[in-house]
Homo-oligomer: A and B are copies of this chain.
Amino acid sequence: MSDAAKLSVGVIGLGSMGMGMARSLARGGLNLKAYYVNPKAVAAISDVGKGVSDHREAARDCDILVCAVVNAKQTRDVLLSAKGAVHAMKKDGFVISCATMAPDEGRAIGALVHETGRFYLDAPISGGPTKAASGQMTIMASGTEDAFTRARPALEAMAAKIYELGLEIGIGASFKMINQFLAGVHIAAACEATSFAAKLVLDLHKVFEVITASAGNSWMFENRVPHILDGDYSPKSAVSIFTKDLGIISDMGRSEKFPLSLSAAALQMFLMTAAAGMERYDDASVARLLANIAGVKLPEPK
C-alpha cells in the first residue's frame, strides 16, 4: 500500500457502483478526488476524499482516472469532449474504464485516449454495490502488461478478483458482455419458469428448494427468485440495466452477423416489462409482467 499512497486517483461517477469504488480506493490509501452529476453524492464523499464540481477537476493532475459512468456515450463525453477529463490528467496518466459497453466502442475510445499520450485499461466490473463498497468486486480487464502493473494499486483496492484477459482493448468488454448475455437470459428464464410454476399452482417455495438443488439452477435463479417469493421489487438491479445490456448484445450480434435468438427473446421480455411501467423496478419484475398478463397471483410483499 506504500505505492498506493503516492498515487492520486480521480473518480468520475458516484452512482451505486462508483460510490463504493471511490470509498474502496480511499481506503486503499490512494489520494482521492471525485465528481458526479449529483451534488449530494459529491458532498457525501468528502469524509474520505475531495469532492469536486466538474469532471475535469476530478482528473486534474491525477495518475489514474476511474471512469464509472453508465455507458459508452457517457464515457466518451466525460473523457474526450472539448472539455474532456483526459486532457487534465498527468501526461502519462491512465484511465480505468469501467462502464459496460460494446467492444468496438471500447476500442474506439481507447484509441482516442492513447492519441493524447495517456493509457487506457478496458476494465468492466461486476459484483454489485455491496462488493463495490467492500473492495470485493470482480474486474474483467484487458490492456498491456505495463498498464496492469501501473494500475494494480487501484485495481487491488477495488477488486477481490482481477482477470487479466488479454493485451487488446475490447477483450475485457467482450467478456463482460458474454456475462451480461447469460445473466440476462437466466433472469428472464427464472422469471418465466417461476410465473409459469405459479400458473400450475405449485408451491413456489418448494420450486425454489427443488430447482436450486437440481440441474435447472443458475446463479441468477438463486439470486432473483427470492425477490419474487418476498414480493419485493425494489430495485436491487433495475430492468433498465438489461434493456441496455441485452440491447448492446443485440447490436453486437448484428454487427458480427451472428444469430442470437435466445438473447433476442430475453431482450423482448425486458422491453415488455419496461413498456409496462416497471423499468425502474427490480429485474425480477419480468415475472410480474407475465403474471399480470396471465392473471396469475405471485406472492404479496410481507
> What's the nearest-Cβ distance from chain B to residue A221, in Å?
7
A-side interface size class: 35 or more
CB nearest neighbor in B for A198: B258
Tell me the residues in window 95-114 of chain A with beta carbons closer than 8 Å to chain B beta carbons: 103
**Cβ of A263 under 8 Å from chain B:** yes
Instruction: Point out the residues of chain B lying under 8 angstroms from A161, CB to CB.
Output: 213
- A261 CA to B196 CA, complexed, in Å: 12
- Select the residue from A166, A217, A257 with max chain B CB neighbours within 10 A: A217
Contact A182 B256 (CB under 8 A): no
Query: Which has the most chain B C-beta neighbours within 10 Å: A178, A214, A223?
Result: A214
Known: A185-B185, A259-B293, A262-B188. A178 touches B126 (CB 8 A): no
A262 touches which of B165, B209, B266 (Cβ 8 Å): B266
Copies in the complex: 2
**Quick one: given A189-B262, A218-B219, are A140 and B196 in contact (CB under 8 Å)?**
no
Are A179 and B215 also in contact (CB < 8 A) when A189-B186, A202-B174 are? yes
> Known contacts being A175-B210, A178-B193, is A262 close to B262, with CB within 8 Å?
yes
Q: List A residues at the B interface (Cβ < 8 Å).
A: 103, 126, 138, 140, 161, 163, 165-166, 171, 174-175, 178-183, 185-186, 188-190, 192-193, 195-197, 199-200, 202-203, 206-207, 209-211, 213-221, 223, 252-253, 256-266, 268-269, 290, 293-294, 296
